[in-house]
Structure 1
Amino acid sequence: MQKQYDYIIAGAGCAGMSLLMRMVVDPFFASKKILVVDADAKQQNDRTWCFWETVPDLFEPIVHHQWKKLDFYSNHFSSELSIEPYTYKMIRGIDFYNYVKASVSKSPNIEWRNATVNKLVNTTFEFVGSNEIAGIELVDGEIIYADYVFSSILFEPIKAAATEYHFLQHFKGWEIKTATDCFDSSKAVFMDFRVSQEHGTTFMYVLPTSPNTALVEYTLFTEQLIEDAAYDMALKKYIGEKLQINDYQILHEEKGVIPMTTKKFPYYKGGNIYIGIAGGQAKASSGYAFKFIQKRTAALIDAIKNGKDLSFGKSLKDSKGHLYDAVLLNVLHNRKMPGDEIFASIFKKNKASNVLAFLDNESSLMTDLKIMSSVPTGIFLPAAFHEMKQLM
């Protein structure tokens, strides 16, 4: 069986489109035959991505709003956070999709198909000469081959092993427009833990994009989901009581679930390369994924162009971050310390920029040690020893 494409991108979400955009802007891929397959046409504003960075990256033209200052609130510690040299940024899903699709439309070597991928062809490989090829099988039975398949599709629910933790970051957000100017659009609320913690680690964030518009999102880190009505009740209460806003309209709603898990995701199998959440790019201790996806897709592009093996996995920094994530989830799972107290202690005792670097797996060992000393050693040290044993 011969290949039909050089590359197939299975799944056109954040990871698939990020990889595709990096191919579009690089002349190396202008002669490559690329197929993108997704069941959804990506015409809805279905999500918002927030992230921080020091240097503008590929998607800077579609940053919807950005902030240099963040507010942190809890019943244990509250402060305005100066995050220099970082900037906190927000990209809307619809802007992201439209931006990539508009760029793709100018590239005749890229084909887009609205179809459902049934599975990856990753158990039996066909050979052409000495070249191994991979592929996808669509629900209608059609099989399409390429040198590499980059897949962000989770074909089955995530199942963590007994020694792994599986939390969910689940959220619902309202973009609201107020009757009068109520917001300072120069800073955002990064975390506000002054809400009920009955379900587990719970906070609000508020992202003002103008004096009278903001995205207000109710976010939880828990092992179980809650009833849909509970999100609405919490949002309404917070907007009325904490923001002191009663006259507003809801312009847009978004809702989602992101895995926060220490499960070891595969990075590759033969010619199938896993990206996005399917490749473990959602950080287990926070659910943040956007920048991890950008680092992963940029590394893949570099490897392709330089003829390197694409079967690379986590870096040393990522492995270190994975251990720290496991320690935090261990403490939360065993209810040794509430999440709001943990984050309050970390932000109280450290520079905000160091905390952001830590959450990005980019901090130095000295910074790591300082942040780890911010929380009670009697709680976190036994958890750390336990998780290190799991790695041996």
Structure 2
Amino acid sequence: MKYDYIIAGSGCAGLSLLYRILKDPVLCKKHILVIDKEQKNTNDRTWCFWEKGNGLFESIVTHQWKTLEFLSDDFQRKFDMKAYRYKMIQGIDFYNFVLDFAKQFENVSFTSENITAITTVNDLAEVSTENTTYTATYVFNSTSLFYPKMDTENSLLQHFEGWVIKTKKPVFDKNVGRLMDFRLSQEHGATFMYVLPTSETEALVEYTLFTEKVLEKEQYKTALKNYIQDYLEIEDYEVLHTEFGIIPMSLAKFSRNIPNEKHIINLGTAGGFTKASSGYTFQFVQKHTEQIIDLLKNGKHPNPQLNFRDKMYQWYDRTLLEVILSKKMDGKEIFATIFKNREIETILAFLGNESSVWEDMKVMSCLPIKPFLVAGMKQLRS
């Protein structure tokens, strides 16, 4: 059977696009197939992001914070946000929300298969699995099939283990999210903790590193136990949930489209929507899928082209990552300098690709010129 759209991969990007298609009164009638080797029925990840006002998935936001704090060895700072809110969505809530909505549509099908190839044949996109082949006018791909080559020369890994812990006594301020705590050993590379309380007795504590390779499993557990005991001063708690993840932070060029494959559009990390300098993905996926819907509704090719500002933000990200990879400055020093010298709204606008040129200059002007100038020039030539 030929479909209008095939969504290859049912993670954040694929299901965000599906939900937006089904919310549109015209596009919701299209025949859609969603393919993933796994069913999304576990709480395998937590997405945290910032935005102004209410977003498309506001009803499933677990918690949100208007105050964030940043900690390093020589300073500690709390920021009260005006426009932005820092929000958390649980993976299982997101999956259930979209999949339950999709059940209303008989024109939407799901299949659990391993995708082996995506190509173009006779002016149609073709998805091959271990069992069969499917065709569509467009395939929206968020699998790793088209990832560029990544190695220690051009990439870091953001890897993390998070624990949701519950204490017997109230110890947390649920109104304050700890965005980064760099008061940890930096022996492996940029290393920090998140602490995101959702009540006075429950919080997500996450150990995060930007390094060339992952650690042994026990190292994450030891770091979390020590932090909870030594920094949070909590002795009596239970672990309700654990999660582990790896996100690429790479100079390799992820592309929204594949050369000569106009019927295949990359989404999510595959399309370059994981921010190279921070690993944040959720909100960039939302902006991209919204653009795709606008193009589809207007009968245009659904692959939003990069504008000048998009290219500028990519250059900023690549420059920062180049500085870290070349060891001219470490991640702790870079982020500590920015958070010590600039206001949170300016920082979040810059990191979220929502800043003005003036705000760009404000953020960059607090960093040392030489390492960033050298890295920036190198990335302009690449």
TM-score, normalising length: structure 1: 0.94
Aligned residue type for 2:108? I
Within 5 Å, which residues of 2 pair with 1:32-71?
32-71=30-69
Aligned to 2:288: 296
Q: Equivalents in 1 of 2:150, 2:305: separation in Å?
A: 19
Aligned residue type for 1:137? S
Task: Determine if the alignment matches structure 1 residue 324 to structure 2 residue 316.
Answer: yes
Query: Which of the numbers 87, 110, 113 marks the counterpart of 1:112?
Result: 110
Within 5 Å, which residues of 2 pair with 1:163-312?
165-268=154-257, 269-312=261-304
Query: Which of the numbers 71, 74, 82 marks the counterpart of 1:73?
Result: 71
Post-superposition offset of 1:34: 0.6
Post-superposition offset of 1:119: 1.0
- Shift in alpha-carbon separation, 1:366–1:288, aligned structure 2, 3 A: same
Aligned residue type for 1:150? F
Q: Is the 8 A contact 2:147 2:270 kept in 1?
A: no
SS of equivalent to 2:367: coil
Q: Equivalents in 2 of 1:154, 1:116: separation in Å?
A: 12
Post-superposition offset of 1:156: 6.7
Q: Deviations over 1:116-143 (max 9, x none)?
A: 1111023xx21xxxxx311200112x11
Query: Which of the numbers 349, 357, 373 marks the counterpart of 1:357?
Result: 349
Q: Is the 8 A contact 1:160 1:263 kept in 2?
A: yes
SS of equivalent to 1:381: helix
Q: Deviations over 1:177-218 (max 9, x none)?
A: 011001000111000001111100010000101100000000
Aligned to 2:368: 376
Q: Deviations over 1:269-313 (max 9, x none)?
A: 220110011111100000000000001111001100011222433
Q: Deviations over 1:66-114 (max 9, x none)?
A: 0000010001332001222000000000000000011001111111111
Q: Deviations over 1:13-42 (max 9, x none)?
A: 000000000011111123211111111111
Aligned to 2:16: 18
Q: Equivalents in 1 of 2:45, 2:107: separation in Å?
A: 29
Query: Which of the numbers 149, 168, 172 marks the counterpart of 2:139?
Result: 149
| RMSD of Structure 2 on Structure 1 (CA) | 1.4
Q: Is the 8 A contact 2:148 2:254 kept in 1?
A: no
Q: Equivalents in 2 of 1:8, 1:204: separation in Å?
A: 38
How many positions carry a matched residue from both structures?
Answer: 379
Percent sequence identity is: 47
Q: Equivalents in 2 of 1:120, 1:156: separation in Å?
A: 9
Q: Which stretches in structure 2 are left out of the alignment for 5+ residues? A: none
Q: Equivalents in 2 of 1:379, 1:217: separation in Å?
A: 30
Aligned residue type for 1:219? T
Aligned residue type for 1:102? D
Aligned residue type for 2:368? P
Aligned to 1:129: none
The worse-fitting range, judged by mean Cα deviation, of 288-297 and 301-310 is 301-310
Q: Is the 8 A contact 1:262 1:322 kept in 2?
A: no
Q: Equivalents in 2 of 1:91, 1:330: separation in Å?
A: 31
Q: Deviations over 1:215-245 (max 9, x none)?
A: 0000001122111111001000000000000
Aligned residue type for 2:184? V
Aligned residue type for 1:145? T
Query: Which of the numbers 357, 364, 367 marks the counterpart of 2:359?
Result: 367
Q: Deviations over 1:296-347 (max 9, x none)?
A: 1110011000112224333322211111111111111121112111111101
Query: Which of the numbers 120, 125, 128 marks the counterpart of 1:137?
Result: 128
Query: Which of the numbers 86, 93, 96 marks the counterpart of 2:94?
Result: 96
Q: Equivalents in 2 of 1:40, 1:210: separation in Å?
A: 32
Post-superposition offset of 1:266: 2.3
Q: Equivalents in 2 of 1:315, 1:156: separation in Å?
A: 23
SS of equivalent to 1:363: coil
